[in-house]
Chain A
Amino acid sequence: MAKQLIKGNEAIVKAAVLAGCRAYYGYPITPASEIAEAAAHYLPLAGGTFLQAESEVAAINMIYGAAGAGLRAMTASSGPGISLMQEGLSFLAGAELPCVIADIMRAGPGLGNIGPEQGDYFQVVKGGGHGNYRALVLAPDSVQEMADLTALAFELADKYRNPVYVLADGYIGQMMEPVEFANQAIEPPPPDWAVLGTAESRKNLISSIFIEPESQEHHVRHMMTKYHRAEREDVRFESVQTEDADIVLVGYGIIARILKSVVEMARERGVKAGLLRPITLYPFPTRAIRALCGHAATFGVVEMSTGQMVEDVRLAVEGRCPVEFYGRSGGVVPTAEEILAFVLEIAKPAWPASILEEVAIHD
């Protein structure tokens, strides 16, 4: 199918509808509002439901109802709205309901501003809500991936009966790039555990209560086996020139795109840099990162935050080699040039003499 130039936020919705999403409940917030706007257009077209809910709290619970009734359902928001959804996320995970949530991150904390940031990593990747659960998290770095990973998110949500996030930042959401969509639409039949209001599904129950401590423990252990399975089967990442890299950069989303430029610029200056881009933030590519400790001298983690994913990189590296961090926040997107200065700085011991002069300027 021919490509079309569209915004990341719109690509999410088209891909979702093609993947069988028939329920969208959401509340407007910049920079995610285009998702709701596109959903208002495309969901009814496909015979699905779109509703602007009274709040994110209501929206995520409507998703709970729709998912419980066996529909592929999604919502989208940004920082403050995601915070409000966290109780619902915990209930969805506890009741083992699949759904997709897109978080188009903006700057925080508090109202912050609407510029792009990656400060939601902790609340999205590490849980956010109460109790022992995880959400799977996919991090697109292009508009094409906004489409592809949204479709994948629905598959994974069903595979694990668990909420799955698409975690992007304001830039990926607002950006336009050419996208090729799936040329087939699917609409999976309702799962056999769902409550449909039919004789066959009458015995079904959606709930997250286990009043006996032993049953609750059994339940969370069962959930952990799902997560361990995801850690074995569904870790995804992209490696760019890591085979011979002395400096392995780690970044996701828009930062990974900038890092791809930085890798080229560093190599032009004789520094062997590479990029490991986590595509799944949970499950995290821990083993892939650990495997690189063999030859990498240093890891350089770059985020639009004050340092959140870097903790997972450090856990993966477990002290085998240094992990350096460079972050901008508040809606500031680091330039390739400033990241290059950081790379040259952490690469110092491996510098060819020819670039010493240039680096001195950055000091």
Chain B
Amino acid sequence: MALAMHVHPLDKHLRVKRLPTIFCSGCGIGIALSAMLRALDKRISEGSVNPNKVLWVSGIGCSGRAVLYLNYDVAHVLHGRAIPFAIGAVLANPELKAVVLGGDGDIAAIGGNHLIHAAKRNFDMVVVMITNFIYAMTGGQVAPTTPYGVYTTTTPAGNPEYPLNVIKLVGALNANYVARASVTTPHLIEQYFYKALAMRGFRFIEVVATCPEMFGRHIGLRDSVEMFSELKKRVVYRHRPSLEEAMIDWEKGIVIGEFVERNNPSFIELLRGVKK
């Protein structure tokens, strides 16, 4: 008997011709992406987002590849440079709703200076950073979010550095929204992204994700289900957590929630003279 063809409810958001994705089994990027698409779907069907004005921009890395499957205006640009590319696009056409998607290496290491300045400007964009604790695309080197002591291919004696607290960094600047969710809580990714889409200014969502293939192999969690269950155990939801709680600590747990919510004028509003 031939298998019946089913159309996935999110197919209309995808370049279906391009599927399947390159992602490994157990990779969290797909979970994050489908949660974001459900949120976007809701926004589009309620009429608050025009799909023709949505622009997805990503740099280089596994996380960056996700935008290539999206049936929107998409750009897969240089490693670390998605934010300035999106800034140029939005300044040239302020009707665009830019979403930048990238790994923590892309957004917070090589692209870190752009992240700081985009947040400082409260620039009109949503940035979603997928934190998988490792440089996945390049084969398992240390990332800005790699926990202390972990073996990676470039820290064979264990990571001598403590991870970068990107939530605290962005929260200390002028970002209007700073939240963290996990691929083990897809409903929160959806909820935060849905909310962020309707806000103004700089909106930052960190999504903690599984990477059994690269990070998992370094910490003895190569099995997808085991990696997922381990992460799920370590993720702690807090209502309105403080920035002090945002430090990534694999042992003590990773706090998720909405860290910062403000409603300050965005860069483009300020440029136009709007002060409130």
A and B held together in a complex: no
